[in-house]
Amino acid sequence: MDRRYPTNRAIASLSLVAAILGFAIRRLAGVPSPEAFVGGITLAISFFLAWAIARELDPDHDLSAFVAAALSVIPHTTLGRPDLAAALLVLLSLRILNRTVGPAAKPLDTVILLALVGVAVWRGHLALAGAAAAAFALDAILQPSHRIHVAAAGASLVMLGVGVGRFQPSEAKALTEATWLALAATLPFLLLIHATGEPRAVTDSGGLPLSAARVRAGQWLGLTALVAALLLEGQAGLVALSPLWAALVGTGAYFSIGAPTRLPHSVHDPS
């Protein structure tokens, strides 16, 4: 991360604090040091991923991402560790769709994302293969278009088909009370989608304004991916994608309480 951005410096420091706290809590609970260390590291990564996903979902409000990061601690400590590869797949799909960096994805970026799709399918997260296919397809359609991602979308759908054949998914999972509450907590995010207009944030490279159509598409993609994962996998899907859940809830809650403020220096405005 570019440490010229004050929010980047803040999340790096807070992630370290999260790792230390995660380790300390587990040690106090009697967990052996090696396991407690791993738990602290995964908490820190989950904390960071929730922040990073929230920055893609709500690029104009710097502080909402920190709300999301804080919320990620709840499912991590109560439900279990998320699937970090699955959360990373969501993050990279959103970044390719939003063009946050600026230029279109390079071939290596596409290959990495397709590899993560394969990992997600192998682990049974079929909804994420569909979400990645949608991200590729939208990137190929929305202006400025990147036509080669039509092929990447097709490759994702092929992997999804392989996964369907392997797992032979049955009917949608019965949702528990906790899962229904988790879904209900994402409802304020719809207000953020409705209010999203032309972003003030700019790309990391070139300083170009982000595309409103791409940002809204990314918002719908993130919400749809979570809902689909919960319907297909039940609470297991919530646990796996808890950083995405925290990002949706955090950005939606921050916006709905009427706090659309920015730091003196945006993450897209180096100090």
- 218 domain residue, yes or no: yes
Q: What is the pLDDT of residues 11-53, one digit of tens each?
A: 999 999 999 988 988 888 888 888 889 989 999 999 999 999 9
User: What CA–CA distance (Å, rounded) separates 110 from 228?
Assistant: 23
- 39 domain residue, yes or no: yes
Report the residue count for the chain.
271
Check pLDDT > 70 for residue 140: yes
- 93 domain residue, yes or no: yes
Residues 6+ apart with CB under 8 A from 86: 119, 120, 123, 125, 128, 240, 241
Local confidence band at 267 (pLDDT 50, 70, 90 cut-offs)? very low
Check pLDDT > 50 for residue 266: no
Q: Global pTM?
A: 0.90
Q: What is the model's pLDDT at position 265?
A: 38
- 55 domain residue, yes or no: yes
Number of domains in the chain: 1
Q: What is the pLDDT of residues 217-233, one digit of tens each?
A: 999 999 999 999 999 89
Q: What is the model's pLDDT at position 98?
A: 93
Q: Are 226 and 94 in contact (CB under 8 A)?
A: no
- 72 domain residue, yes or no: yes
- 50 domain residue, yes or no: yes
- 151 domain residue, yes or no: yes
206 or 127, greater pLDDT: 127
User: What CA–CA distance (Å, rounded) separates 159 from 167?
Assistant: 12
Check pLDDT > 70 for residue 270: no
- 250 domain residue, yes or no: yes
Domain that holds residue 13: 6-256
